[in-house]
Structure 1
């Protein structure tokens, strides 16, 4: 999420409860930006007329061409269609001009470009617990476009730097677009050139949050899910830092370009109170979201646990499991421990695989690792039975000849 009025009205205080007190404790400015004050600055079919903005749009056309042909993109037609429908729903008056791409990058982020195309990272999809949370991120990014933050930020950058060149940014995108994700996020450092171009001010981020909350509620989503998303991200960053015995890194990812996390979360709660209409029914549309990401959810979890960030991965899985455990989550919980490989982790992983296979939706690999763990523990007959079940589920697995030899 590259992205919060002059007073707090009575309904905000009533609906928000103790949020106002929390905002004071975390340092929210009293003159916060209210969703009602956020009007779109552009409409459908917008095209720039200023010379510098026309030049920026020409460069962005090259960038989008590179992005659209990138090997990093996930091109599942149904999933991309779902994302397009979503941005069409919460994109505001210029939604018809917006495009969206999904990049296989296991990190929490999304960015909207000046011409109206957005790139969503696959790691963001994994972290969303329902459609409302994802819609909130997309509505926030749409807010940047509708409020014309990109050109304002770019002009400010040009004023502050004599050496800034939009061409170098485009080349950086081209380099990133030519790559293939191999599990090492550092290989995508060039993509940071894009993100660093649009380091919005805190006021711009607050505007995008307020606009996003408004767009979310207008389309029947509970706007509080924007605050919930941010709370989850704070928790994940803290869990990762604790595991590494460090303090939360404000220079990483979204925290580098956004207001203080706790401050922003309090502002988002107030914005949700502003736009929530008493008596109206809001729907997070969780079932529809899970159906949409079902074809890629295992891949998303696999990419996450291979980042070698056990603290973040364990927290993330526990957070997703608040909506109910299943075989897939139990398997990847065990994978976190196996890959961490500290004292006692092998036993803990083995127990996790045993729990995973008790679920009807356990992935084939859960049976594989369950069988291997049983054999290692001296329970050969049970291990052979588990591996036989694995082969029944995955007869053409790459390791099938080895497994057949092991159980014969």
Structure 2
């Protein structure tokens, strides 16, 4: 089997189609990766590829790391997955810290949702429609088939397009220019999803929506929303339209299919979406959030919550408390408001009170990742590193692909407590799961040499070091 890094670069060429305009509008043409009836990666190959791609994305892409938003997006994705046929392999739902209205799917079940998309959809059903569409690209094996045809893609061009993808996260114009330069060197055909792929993903996505209890009309509604956003903006159309072109025929087809379905008219499963949308807005732009809030005579509960989050983000706990105390618990998702008060207490330096509140929540929602992560931080604040490390170790063990943010937090807490072997091992895993393999090897070796490492620790760390060293060697060979 070709090396995973070669696979990775070929897959990134597929993903590049999600970051550049279609060939007919830009003059850029990308490699034809074949029809859906052609070769396909095996499920095992795709899973291996997905794990490597996930590490690369975590290293390179700007990700939203707020635990509440991460949990919400992941939960929505998992509920949709439960109603997606053939969703056998692992899936990873990532929120990209980018204001573009865009989403993408990558081989191995990686689904990316841009922050800008979450802020522009009008309800949870529209967000679910986009996520369901991207899930369908994976379950219908569009990515695996396209990728299998791209095994002989030029390595240098792959690097150029990878650079363009990363640049697009900061400046779409710059990213497109870099990609165009890489493509102009010799690739003359297109790899955007075919219209047949898009139609199939629409149909499968609407079935997923229906099975999850959402209004399937949300698919056509979102398409119309995209057209609204593109009016009068010239070339600055939503990025999603560049990679998933929306025509009147496509909207009509989606609307007709929805009308034929026996379906719910549910647009929001509960209040969580509006509150997480307000949280996203506050974290993305606290100043603008507060300007809008102050200009509103009768703010909604979600706007008031967003203002509280923005005040906390700006280090103004007194003003945040004023807004939170004016919220009626009956209007808010209970956990959301409780977490906000716990964050407020911590910002006010009331760590014992914050701990008590979080422990009460932990008893009601045992194992909830947001509560557990907040508990670890409060234990650290209270000078209880052993408890914090135990909580984080348990969370990390439960994850198939550990979250680097948890590993970094564990490393920092252990280092401050003088637990050098634990700190270096966690830091090594942090680097490994961000595709920084050489640095992971160095950190593992530092852990093996730590004075507080037991013989059992050294053996475990050595095994991990050997894995990282082999992965680093393969990465170097593929870059020659």
Computed over aligned residues only, the root mean square deviation of the Cα atoms, in angstroms, reads 4.4
Mapped partners of 1:63, 1:166: distance in 2: 16
Partner-residue secondary structure (3-state), 1:69:
helix
Give yes or no for contact 2:164–2:174 (8 Å, CA) kept in 1.
Answer: no
2:260 aligns with one of 260, 267, 274: 274
1:245 equivalent in structure 2: none
Mapped partners of 1:57, 1:201: distance in 2: 23
Give yes or no for contact 1:67–1:173 (8 Å, CA) kept in 2.
Answer: no
Give yes or no for contact 1:80–1:101 (8 Å, CA) kept in 2.
Answer: yes
1:290 aligns with one of 269, 274, 280: 274
Mapped partners of 1:392, 1:204: distance in 2: 52
Alignment of 1:198-213 (within 5 A): 199-213=192-206
**Distance change (3 Å), C-alpha of 1:197 and 1:302:** farther
Give yes or no for contact 1:217–1:223 (8 Å, CA) kept in 2.
Answer: yes
RCO greater where, 1 or 2, for CA within 8 Å and sep 6 or more? 1
**How far did 1:268 drift?**
1.3
**Structure 1 position 89 matched with structure 2 position 79:** yes
Mapped partners of 1:393, 1:181: distance in 2: 33
Mapped partners of 1:62, 1:167: distance in 2: 19
**How far did 1:236 drift?**
0.8
Mapped partners of 2:99, 2:137: distance in 1: 23
**Distance change (3 Å), C-alpha of 1:59 and 1:198:** farther
Mapped partners of 1:169, 1:111: distance in 2: 18
Alignment of 1:355-374 (within 5 A): 355-356=295-296, 359=299, 361=304, 363=307
2:154 equivalent in structure 1: 165
Partner-residue secondary structure (3-state), 1:222:
coil
Mapped partners of 1:300, 1:119: distance in 2: 17
Mapped partners of 2:146, 2:200: distance in 1: 13
**Structure 1 position 121 matched with structure 2 position 111:** no
2:226 equivalent in structure 1: 233
Matched residues, number: 268
**Structure 1 position 80 matched with structure 2 position 70:** yes
Mapped partners of 2:78, 2:119: distance in 1: 21
**Distance change (3 Å), C-alpha of 1:357 and 1:76:** same
What stretches of structure 2 of length at least 5 have no aligned partner? Answer: 1-14, 19-36, 181-188, 321-480
**Structure 1 position 111 matched with structure 2 position 104:** yes
**How far did 1:122 drift?**
0.9
Mapped partners of 1:181, 1:281: distance in 2: 35
Partner-residue secondary structure (3-state), 1:236:
helix
Partner-residue secondary structure (3-state), 2:95:
strand
**How far did 1:272 drift?**
1.2
Partner-residue secondary structure (3-state), 2:65:
coil
**How far did 1:225 drift?**
0.9
**How far did 1:358 drift?**
6.2
Deviations 1:359-386 (A, max 9, x none): 483959x99xxxxxxxxxxxxxxxxxxx
1:222 equivalent in structure 2: 215
What stretches of structure 1 of length at least 5 have no aligned partner? Answer: 4-40, 42-46, 242-247, 306-327, 333-352, 368-389, 395-408
**How far did 1:155 drift?**
4.6
Partner-residue secondary structure (3-state), 1:107:
coil
- Normalised by the length of structure 2, the TM-score is 0.46
Mapped partners of 1:289, 1:331: distance in 2: 22
1:253 equivalent in structure 2: 239
Mapped partners of 1:166, 1:239: distance in 2: 39
Deviations 1:83-105 (A, max 9, x none): 11111111214166111111111
**Distance change (3 Å), C-alpha of 1:72 and 1:117:** same
Mapped partners of 2:192, 2:178: distance in 1: 14
**How far did 1:271 drift?**
2.0
